[in-house]
Structure 1
Amino acid sequence: MSSLHGRGKDLARSRTAQSDSPPGSPSLTARTLRHERLSRLELGGSDASSERASARARREAREARLATLSSRAGEDSSRDYRKLYESALTENQKLKTKLQEAQLELADVKSKLEKMAQQKQDKTADRSSVLEMEKRERRALERKMSEMEEEMKVLTELKSDNQRLKDENGALIRVISKLSK
């Protein structure tokens, strides 16, 4: 008789555990899966591999919590479900804040990346303009150099003409001085 009495208590416990959740209300796993899908939709274009890894880690943690909760439910049928709901709610809030922080960090990193890309484009544009200016200066210097070379040639011709005229002048002076004697 005592074995029947013990079995009756176990049966009553399992019935109360099953009937504690109202019919038609989504289970904890369904709610977390829905939350996970929503968070994935919110993330949008984030890195898929890190998203999968974090989703996998959350899923494993959730499964571990559910396993501990189910083992505790079998042990203690008079669990306060309001406290469980409140703890799940606070955990969800913590996760939401972490998600928002991660999204802000992602936006910050994206803006920094865009700034760096813009700076790189500006530097490239500056470099090309500097190179263009250097080319112009180089061409101008080459033109000046070629003009100076021409002037040097003219100068050497003028010097040689001047020397020739000096020699002729000296010869004429000698001839005039011999004739005047």
Structure 2
Amino acid sequence: MSSMLSHNKDQPRIRKSLSDSSPTATTATTKSLRHERLSRLSSSGSSDVSNDTSTNHADSYVLRWENRLSARKKAEETANNDYKKMYEKALATNQRLKSKLETSNQELAMIQDQLQRTQKGRPGDCSSNMLETEKKESWSLKKRISDMEEQLKVKAELKMENQRLKDENGALIRVITKLSK
């Protein structure tokens, strides 16, 4: 036992901060440190069983730590890819909704223009048949206008929700960036 202690005091200990090295360098360093410990144990003999078990506990701790680190990195990579996909999907949806909104606005303008022309261009001495058709047309146009206004309301709500999702996505990306540092 005393020979083991004197042997350990003579050997310099190498400690390296985890933030100073890359994961591959950390793995190589921990493997070389484990190899050094095992070679020291084998050269000193196997007379001390408690020291051997403490080395095994340390090795198992290092292995668990390495597994956690690699799992965390994989999870961060997956999360980054998922947020990127969600952001791209939100952008595509936003563009699609913008084009639909523009189309609906153009249709609405055409229908309102058409409605104004029919209301202004009414002759005073029309037959009852023409009045009924004009009433039907104006009623159908008004109905279409009200439908389009409802669609515009829905699109505005979707636009607001889309913006909220973009903001949330940006916040999540910032959090992930801070966690990855």
TM-score above 0.5: no
Instruction: Give TM-score, length-normalised by structure 1.
Output: 0.45
**Which has the higher relative contact order, 1 or 2, with Cα contacts under 8 A spaced 6 or more apart?**
2
Instruction: Give TM-score, length-normalised by structure 2.
Output: 0.45
